Amino acid sequence: MCNSVTIEINTLNEYISLIKEKKLSEYYFRGENKKYPTISSSLLRRDTSSLLKDEKFSFYEDIVNHYYSEIASNIGEIERNNFLAFSQHHGLTTNLIDFTTSPLIALYFACANKNDVLDKNTGFVYLINKEKTIDISKMINEVFISPANSYSLIQTIIKNNNSFKAFVSYLNHFFWENSILPYNQNLTELSLRLSTMINDESLPSFLKEYIKITDRISDISEISDIFDYLPELISEYVSNFDMKIDATTLQVWRYIIMLYEYFNNVSYLAFSKPTEGIIEFPQMPYFIYKTPYKFDRIRNQDGIFIYQLYHTFATRYEDVPEEILRQEIIPDVTIVINNQKQILEELDFIGINLKSIYGDFDNIASYVNNKFF
């Protein structure tokens, strides 16, 4: 689905020319000063055993709610209404990933960390096309009011009718402007794979539909056409959620309902041979969170967040979670940054440095120290 491009640069001038010539201003940027296995939030970078060590689904809720209980009396209404962004800003482990609209800010983070210049290493700037994203800031601030029972968007959509309706609206608008075909194809392939991994006795209805279709797969011109065989399911959901649908939005509805069913049912599947297959997170648009809480770091860094989706589920017993599905963040463009120390000096010359990036007393002191020692 993603044909990622990798480009190497050695100087600030090369980087600026690349952004201009390739017209990369319509991207979101993330700079990392070394190579990590994946682009991930601090929460979902942790291994599953540490997140589910207490055999509870509420690992994330415990973290955020405990932090909230510690500081709630010392923060104002704006901080409470944007608590996930506030938590990320102050170093709490969250599922938010820092991105920026500024290519120069991302370049700075690819070349240095707060305390030290990383010489003789390679940095990376990752670019996500804005066309692959959906701004769901309003929805996040409306459904995740601390202390909350869930900070998982997937769980919230499954359990809350109003959230589901809002989710439908976001995706409907997105797919009006972008091709739905690759998303349909990926979801269909994952669901078909899932249907081969479970006991017939516990087979959800939507997977039974898939199995019936596989017997006629040779008659289907494209795998996405499988969605044409589910009209009854679509009618049932439209009725349950009291939402209107017309012929022009039918394809979008097929995708949304199958996505809903995929997550809703994977939570309750009992696997006969759970080690023989891998359940994957479907390819979905990236959800952008632009907080109106403009603390200095967000303002100085032109910061936005990608809300990394995840879903916990049990493989044997419904009350014992054993697995976490994580949304994979795949960059459209990767810029490899050589000569970090030189580029950092060039950035300082044009005013991109520790002082301007953070703007607080401690980091200004560090900037001054680095200038003289």
Q: What is the pLDDT of residue 220?
A: 47
Q: How confident is the model at residue 312 (pLDDT cuts 50, 70, 90)?
A: confident
Statement to judge: residues 128 and 225 lie in one domain? no
Complete DSSP assignment for 222-262: SGGGGGGG-HHHHHHHHHHTT----GGGHHHHHHHHHHHHH
Statement to judge: residues 122 and 141 lie in one domain? yes
Number of domains in the chain: 2
Statement to judge: residues 35 and 120 lie in one domain? yes
Report which DSSP code applies to 283.
P
Q: What is the pLDDT of residue 285?
A: 96
Statement to judge: residues 134 and 10 lie in one domain? yes
Task: Indicate the length of the chain as a whole number.
Answer: 373
Among the three residues 254, 284, 314, which one is the final residue of a domain in this structure? 284
Statement to judge: residues 236 and 356 lie in one domain? no
Classify residue 168: in a domain, yes or no.
no
Q: Is pLDDT of 226 > 60?
A: no
Hey, is 27 helix, strand or coil? strand
Statement to judge: residues 207 and 136 lie in one domain? no
Give me the mean pLDDT over the 92-101 stretch. 94
Classify burial at 239, counting beta carbons within 10 Å of its beta carbon; exposed 0-12, middle 13-18, buried 19 or more: exposed
Classify residue 91: in a domain, yes or no.
yes
Is residue 135 within 8 Å of 288, Cβ to Cβ? Answer: yes
Classify residue 169: in a domain, yes or no.
no
Give me the mean pLDDT over the 333-353 stretch. 92
Classify residue 28: in a domain, yes or no.
yes
Statement to judge: residues 142 and 275 lie in one domain? no
Which percentage of the chain shows pLDDT scores above 70? 73
Statement to judge: residues 275 and 361 lie in one domain? no
Q: How confident is the model at residue 310 (pLDDT cuts 50, 70, 90)?
A: very high
Q: Among 136-140, 189-193, 293-297, which is the least confidently predicted range?
A: 293-297
Q: Is pLDDT of 282 > 80?
A: yes
Statement to judge: residues 267 and 302 lie in one domain? no
- Residue 367: Cβ within 10 Å count: 16
- pLDDT (tens digit, 9 = 90+) per residue, 26-82? 999 999 998 888 999 999 998 888 887 766 667 899 999 999 999 999 988 888 888
- pLDDT (tens digit, 9 = 90+) per residue, 257-275? 788 878 877 766 655 445 4
Q: How confident is the model at residue 97 (pLDDT cuts 50, 70, 90)?
A: very high
Classify residue 13: in a domain, yes or no.
yes
Round the average pLDDT of the chain to a whole number and report it.
81
Q: Helix 181-195 vs helix 250-266: angle between axes, to the nearest 10 degrees?
A: 30
Q: How confident is the model at residue 169 (pLDDT cuts 50, 70, 90)?
A: confident
Among the three residues 284, 302, 318, which one is the final residue of a domain in this structure? 284
Q: What is the pLDDT of residue 217?
A: 47
Statement to judge: residues 249 and 268 lie in one domain? yes
Which percentage of the chain shows pLDDT scores above 90? 35
Give me the mean pLDDT over the 317-339 stretch. 85
Q: Which residue would you say has higher pLDDT here, 318 or 295?
A: 295
Classify residue 100: in a domain, yes or no.
yes
Structural domain harbouring 368: 5-149+285-372
Q: Is pLDDT of 118 > 60?
A: no
Among the three residues 264, 284, 304, which one is the final residue of a domain in this structure? 284
Q: Is pLDDT of 292 > 50?
A: yes
Please state the pTM of the whole predicted model.
Answer: 0.86
